[in-house]
Each structure stands twice: as structure tokens, then as C-alpha cells.
Chains A and B, each alone.
Chain A
């Protein structure tokens, strides 16, 4: 299939042919992955067809196969055109095609067989890394020799970008893949994450972006026949990319245990990233002024311009999600997957599509087989991609929203199925477009070369005049020293400095791996478990362990932080599930976890399953403690003490302190009655009226507060609310002081109230009020009796008991004891006396002031029911019958 005659442009042509082939193969893999999200048994239980194996094949395949071969082909075409000379060596160029394709093919097969370094975007094993770096250096050599032989004095922007790419990217690849450690290609501990994401982001920033912009800056002026709007702007963009993009990698780790200063540098650089991005898009849009008719006429241009829009959106999105607040929300979900596809497929993929349509006639002398098929390709790709991206973005927001409410990963996953299906359909549309593209190209290459009908298909005849060659080399040193200097400076700041300074001893949960665990870890990596299971507890995660620390990873090589949380986080899962459950889960996930979409690992041997179990069960540490059922109090609240501790502790030390205590309980009780009673009930038992309308039953405060690890936990829960329940974050409407008053009152459901105001005080207030001659305004009929009964049973019976004996379910802890109405009802002499007690409550008891909760009529109905039902019939008739 490859052209071995080393004709002019053959290197470019053969790279483009490879790109089309890899596109078909690796987008098909992507389509299979999309199906597996809702049909996890799809394509059976063959190891190399499981999700964890196909995913790295897909990611590395589209990255280094389809996209990289495409943009290298573009670079091989552009450089001779802009330097006015032939490519230095077509022979060397074609050798690089073979080397590159060999590396991709071998790397893909090895990934399928489970040979991986387990670091995202850097999965290829060392042997493949060596082949890639050698090929990059050879391509760079070919390009630089061509540039040094140029006949054009001035270097156009695209050449700057291409030179910059081949100066910096081999270094990025070498450092990021930790190639001086051939065994694992990784560093020990948390520093490995810094190296991984320095590389992971710069595959985008210093490879696709720089080569992609070179392509856009070349093709768009050539197709529209209008010069670039501003060459100076492109220079500014170039230097800012080299400096700023180099330092953004750590924004992938904003929630991870790496130095805070490094995160801050990454955030600042991510903001500054908009400088080159805006410079680029402004340059493109202003170049297009007056030429938008070409957008309609030329499908290659249409692909490329749509690509610039997707690239711009991906870049703006990248900056947006690199801030701490947005990142903590959007992290770990399908949102990020959508973002990656927007940049790679939407941005650079569309550039390659356009470039292939533009270049194939020029490097083969053959017209494109079918313009109709080209149009189909465009519309399937564009519409398919917009749908595809939308599904992932929506899914991401659903996931993040759920997790933010502390809804478990497994529960949220169940809600995503329709979107997984939608994503696969949209992905299928894209893949169908690529098959059309492949067929169109196949027919084009198989066809005969046609005489050109118009200049657009004439193979360019390059000038070969080389005069005063040495004179033209002068701009290379400035570029090389300036660009490379900026790049190396940032590398020093964001890679070398952290490497020197990150030195964390093992944490309390770090432990060396046993032989079984180490083997299990290798199986975890080779089967791609880390693509769905993260391994770090973020500051915003609740209930899955303490926040991860750098020392937790002391024994890890490579680091397996993960980038997606399709399944639960495993950082501290050790001991959380019975070990034999793990084995069953791995053999048949859905037998023990019904909604799981995990692949079936029944192809593993018993030994392998045991090793994998040993690794997973020891993650974090094998925690078999019994008292870890409460999530840890976040740092912001940890250790906070009740500001009224002294008031409560010194209640009986003086008259003033007694008054102070009574006021505290009184105010706390009113606040509680207004805010908390609807769910927790007047007794705190969790039987308030609203409790009937929520799935998560309100807490029984006596039981819950008794088991809280500390008052700081109670304060945190009231301040922030309880995600996944109806408990709201009260900090939004109450002051901290008010919340401490509520907490002081709630504590009486455990400790009782110190009755510093005796009952006869309340009695005398009620008698005074009753003596005013106030009468019940309601009719004493069956309807009001029934209403009164319902009100009593709902609000009062939890303390006073359904039979009024003061033995409701809360009576076991309410102190002072609730009244027994069969005894006390006879004591009331006037209706006003009753009304006062009910409306104002009883000081320094848990009897609330019902005037804050019930209407006057409701209170009278309750009184009517209590009196008629619980007092002696004679007493009722004598006192209340009217």
C-alpha cells in the first residue's frame, strides 16, 4: 500500500494513508467502548476485548495513530512549500512512516495483550516509547534539514510552530514517559502524577496544538487566497504557547495530593492559556473577513474552520474547568471525556479530515472520488459529533451533581443508561461518516490519475534555487534559544522543582505490597481497572475515607490516581467488602452488584483472582475497625467547639448563669421549632410531619447525636446539610451563633434539660393568662375532635403517647418527663390556662412553644381533643362543656 519510490510528497502521502487506516480501526474501537457502557457483556469475555484493554488501544490509537500520523503528514507537506525547497529526504521520510506505523501497530497489539505502563496517554511500554522518540527525532531532523536548505529568507508562522513542536515534544515525551526507568516508565509516589500530567496535557499543548495551528495557518490563507491577518499575532501566540501551555498539566491534579503551589501555577497558566487561544482565533476570523463564501464552497475549508471552532471551545472549556471551584465540581465525570473528544476529534480530527481532502489531490494528482460522499462525511461527522459531545457533557453534569449530593457512584450510574445509549448512537453516526470517508479515499487512490481540470489538483513544482543559503539561517538560533528557553524554564518550574521538593514519607495507611498484592496490582493495571476506578479521596468526597495524602502513595509505582469515576473510588476500599465478595464481583460483577457495568473477569485464573483480591482488599489498608461508620468531619469544621459550652457547663454556678442557660435553651428551642421540628419532630425523634414525605428518614437526634464522634460533626451537618437527604445547608440562612444555639438545644435530647425554671413559674403564667377569661373559639363537634386527634397524634404523641400517658416513643429520653394527661388534665381550671401552656411551651423543658408551629385553631382543636379524651368525663363536662 505504501509508495516506496520516494517520489516528491510520498512521505506526506503515506502518512496520510496511514492516518486514514488508523482512523477506521481506532474509531471502531471507540464505538465498541461506547456500547460496553450500556451492554457490558458485548463481545463476550475475551481478555483483549474487555473495556480495560480496548480503552488504551482506542486512546493511544487515535492519538498517535490517526491524529499524529495525519498532522505529521501535513507537516511533511507544508515545510517544503513554505521553505521553497524539497523535503530534505523523502527516503528518510518514508522510513519514518514505517517506523511510526510499526510502533503504533506493535504498541496496539501489546496493549491488547495487557502490556501497558498503566499511565494515561503514556501506556505504551518502553520499547514502543523508544521507537516513537527515535522516529520523532528523525522526522525533526528531516524537517530541520529542509528548513536549513530553504530558499525563503523569512520563516512563516507555520514553520515556527512545526520547528517548536519537534524541538520540544521529544523532550516532553522522554520526560513524561520517564524513559530512564525502562521497567515501569514511572516514578515512585505522588511525583509520578506530576510527570504523567505534564506529559498528558502537553500531548495536546505541544504536539497537536502546535502542529494543528501550523496546519490552520497554512491551509486557511492558501484556500481563501488571503494572507493571514497578522503574522505578529501568530508569533505572540507561538511564544505564549511554548511558555504557558508547558505549565498547565497540574490542573489535572487540582484535587490530588500534590503541592498547592504547583496547582496554583497550573491554574494561572490555564487562565493565561486564553492569550494564545484568543490570538489564534482572532487571527483566523480576521483572515476570513470577506472570504466566508469559501466556507460554503470548499468542504476542506469547512472541515478546518469547524475544527477551529471546536478547538476554541475546547480551549475555553479547558480554562473554565481549570479553576478550583469549577474543577472540584466537574472532575472525574464524562464531562472530561467530552472535553477530550472536543479537542482531539472536534478540533484536530476535523483539521486532518479537511487536510486529507485538500492534500490528496495534490500529492496523488487524483481528484477526490465523490464530492457527494465528502459531503456525507462532513455532515455525519459534524452532526454526530455535536450530539456525541452533548450526551457526554449532560452525563457529566448529572454525575457531578449526584456525587455532589453524596449520591453513590453506583446509584448515579443507573441514571445514565439512556445517555450511554444516546452517546453510542451519536458515536455510531461519526463512525459511519468515517467509513464513508474511508471508502471515498479508497476509491480515490484506486482511481487513475486525471489530468488537472483546474489548478487545485496540480502537483506543486517547487523552486530549487538555493542562493545565499547560510544567510537565511539567522532566525533559527533566536527561535531555538528563545522558544526552547521558555519551554525549559517552565519545565524547570513545573517538573524539576516538584521532583526535587516532593519528598513525603509513608503515611499511616501506606504499606509495602506483599507478593500477592504486587501481582494483583499488575493485573489491576494490565486489565485497565484504573480507567473506571480512581484511587484518591478528594477534599469534597464524603464517606469514602480520609482525604488522600502524598504519603499514601509512597510505595506506588506507577501512580494510579485515575481520571474517571465510572465505578467507585478504591483508594481506601481495603476491608470495606468481604474478600470473597471481591472474587465473586470480579468473576461476575452483576451477581453481587446489580447495576454494575464492569467487565466480566472470569477469564482470570483462580490464582489471578486471588491476587487481584489481595491487592484491592489491601488498598488504603485492610480496615477492620468497627467505629468508622461516620464520614470524617471536613477540615473546615474539624475540632470546632460549641461557643456555649461555658453556659451549659456552669449552669448552676449563679443566678445569672441560670438565666443565661434558660435564655439559651429558650432561643434554641424556638429556632429548632421553626426550622427543625417539621422533619425531626418536637421530640427530635425524626417523626415530624414532613418526615412522611422524604425517602431518607430524618435523623432520630437522640440516637444520632449520641453516636456522633463530636459536636464538630453535628455542627458540620447542620451548617452544610446532609447530601442526598432533605437536610439543607442551614449556613445559608442562619448565623453560626444561631446554629450553635440549635445544637445546644438538640443536645438536650441526649442529656436532658437542666430545669433551672421550675414548673410552678410556667403554671402561674398560665393561670394569669387563663384568668383573662379566654374561651375556645371552635365548636365542640366531631369534626374538630377528629382534627384535634390527628394534630395530637402527629405532633404531640411522640412524647405524650397516643393514650396521653406521657409514654410516647421519645419519652424514654425526654427529661424532664412529658406530662401524663390522664393525670394532669384535671388540674387545669380554665381554657386560657391550657392555651397558654400549649402556645408558649414550658421553660427549660422540651415542651415547645406551639405558637410558632400551629395556628390558633389547630391549638384549640388539640386542646379540645386532649381534654375530652384524657380528662375524667365528669371533669370535662363540668369545666369545658359549653
Chain B
């Protein structure tokens, strides 16, 4: 027996009117993130992703550690 099977009918449900908020939010999220991804890509922010990990070791050496 799972707890879910034993839940009472007092658990809350979503009012149909509130689906509008959820729908609009979902569409915005779906649109914003691909746009940001594209923008970042065009700006070259995905180039040489691994560079920083080598630089931090070099910097430590440069700093005398």
C-alpha cells in the first residue's frame, strides 16, 4: 500500500483558471532559454570552455604557490 493510495480527498487541486498562468509561464520559459542559448553561442561564450581550468593552475604557479 502506498501513501498516495491512502491520501484523503482534502489534498488541493489546481483551479482550471490558474492553468492560464501555468501555460503562459511555460511558453515564456520555452522561448527564453533557447534565445539565451543562441545569444551566448553567437557571443562566443561556448568557445574554449576548458581554458579556465588550465589558467587557474598557471595562475597559482605565477602567484608562487
Contact = CB atoms under 8 A, between A and B. Distances in A.
A501 B18 CA distance: 8
Contact of A156 (B6, B13, B21, B56): B56
Given A152-B59, A547-B6, A232 B50 contact: yes
A456 B13 CA distance: 60
A482 B40 contact: yes
Given A478-B39, A481-B36, A492-B25, A255 B14 contact: no
A225 B36 contact: no
Interface in B26-65: 29, 32-33, 36, 39-40, 43, 45, 48-57, 59-60, 62-65
A602 to B, nearest CB: 40
Interface residues on A, range: 35 or more
B23 interface: no
A550 B10 contact: yes
Contacts of A259: 11-13
Given A539-B7, A635-B5, A501 B12 contact: yes
A549 B8 contact: yes
Contacts of A260: 4, 7, 11
A482 B33 CA distance: 7
A258 B25 CA distance: 22
Contact of B57 (A222, A324, A500): A222
A62 to B, nearest CB: 30
B63 A460 contact: yes
Nearest to B9: A635
Contact of A507 (B7, B10, B49, B57): B10
A455 B8 CA distance: 66
A502 B49 CA distance: 44
Contacts of B22: 497
Contacts of B1: 634, 636, 720
Which secondary structure dominates chain B's binding surface?
helix
A855 interface: no
A462 B63 contact: yes
Nearest to B1: A636
Nearest to A225: B57
A255 B3 CA distance: 8
B37 to A, nearest CB: 8
Contact of A478 (B7, B45, B60): B45
Contacts of A549: 8, 10
Contacts of A232: 49-50
B53 A324 contact: no
Contact of A500 (B18, B48, B50): B18
Interface string A243-267: 0000000000011011111000000
Given A81-B63, A156-B56, A501 B3 contact: no
A636 B50 contact: no
B50 to A, nearest CB: 5
B5 A636 contact: yes
A635 B4 CA distance: 10
Contact of B36 (A158, A324, A478): A478
A238 to B, nearest CB: 12
Contacts of A325: 2
A635 B3 CA distance: 10
Which residue of A259, A502, A539 has the most chain B CB atoms within 10 A of its CB atom? A539
A491 to B, nearest CB: 12
B64 A461 contact: yes
Contacts of A547: 6-8
Contacts of B57: 221-222, 225-227
A735 interface: no
B52 A156 contact: yes
Contacts of A456: 65
Contacts of B60: 81, 222, 225, 460
A23 interface: no
A225 B57 CA distance: 7
A84 interface: yes
A550 B56 CA distance: 52
Which residue of B1, B15, B62 has the most chain A CB atoms within 10 A of its CB atom? B1
A474 B45 contact: yes
A232 to B, nearest CB: 5
A235 B52 CA distance: 12
Contacts of B50: 230-232
Nearest to A84: B59
A159 B49 CA distance: 14
Contacts of B36: 478, 481-482, 485
Interface string A488-501: 01001000010011
A152 B55 contact: yes
B21 to A, nearest CB: 8
A328 B3 CA distance: 7
Contacts of B32: 485
Contact of A463 (B3, B10, B45, B62): B62
Contacts of A461: 63-64
B64 A460 contact: yes
Contacts of A225: 57, 60
11 contacts: A154-B51, A154-B52, A227-B54, A232-B50, A257-B10, A259-B11, A324-B3, A325-B2, A458-B65, A461-B63, A539-B3
The 7 closest A-B pairs by CB, nearest first: A460-B63, A154-B52, A539-B6, A549-B10, A156-B52, A228-B53, A227-B53
Interface of A: 81-82, 84, 152, 154-158, 218, 221-222, 225-228, 230-232, 235, 254-255, 257-261, 324-325, 328, 362, 455-456, 458, 460-463, 474-475, 478, 481-482, 485, 489, 492, 497, 500-504, 507, 538-540, 547, 549-551, 634-636, 720
